[in-house]
Amino acid sequence: MTRTVARLLAESLEAHEVDQVYCVPGESYVGLTSALIERNSIRVIVCRHEGGAGYMAVADGRLRDRAGVAMVSRGPGLSNAMVSLHSAYHDATPVVMLVGQVERKDFGRLALQEQNYSRLLSDVTKLVVEVNEPEQASEAIARAFHVAESGTPGPVAVILPEDIFDE
């Protein structure tokens, strides 16, 4: 099997003892979804709405006292999940939300559903980590879990461009 960023991210989640993630399957992170399913150690729980996926991750984080994990698509997918991040932030609940982003070549070009996530999420997360190079992927996951679970717990968003998963 070729070692890709998607597989590396799946391994990183597994190393942080993630055993389930909540999502509405979306094209902006299909590579990661495939890598998670292929590992078979992390259950991918398919939801009908990103808000539901976010709240399931919040409940997971609260009940198990470790970061719950959700994956959402860019733009409207994240917008649907933002209330769950707000709840996690104000309830001091650890959550790591993996957010799809447009391809890197389209950054700053007002591509379909592109947003400035650092600005958008600054009031409802402890940290926003943007992964722009393959070498940053594993460290981004480690940092996200550390920040989400340290000090006053809370949500962290990891932004992953659509074209990074197959590298």
The domain that contains 120 carries what CATH number?
3.40.50.970
Q: What values do phi and psi take at 72, rounded to 5?
A: -135, 155
Q: Which domain holds residue 153?
A: 5-164
Q: Over the Cα atoms of the chain, what is R_g?
A: 14
CA 22 vs CA 19, 104, 107, 116, 118: distances in Å: 11, 25, 26, 23, 22
Q: What is the pLDDT of residues 31-64, one digit of tens each?
A: 999 999 998 899 999 999 999 999 999 999 999 9
Q: How far apart are CA 71 and CA 54, in angstroms?
A: 8
One-letter identity of residue 33: T
Structural domain count, the chain: 1
Q: What b/e sequence results for 70-95 when a residue is b if at least 16 CB atoms lie within 10 Å of its CB, and e otherwise? A: bbbbbbebbbbbbebbbbbbeeebbb
Dump pLDDT digits (tens) for 70-92. 999 988 899 999 999 999 999 99
Q: How far apart are CA 154 and CA 145, in angstroms?
A: 10
**The overall pTM is greater than 0.85:** yes
- Residues constituting the chain: 167
Distance separating alpha carbons of residues 21 and 36, to the nearest angstrom: 9
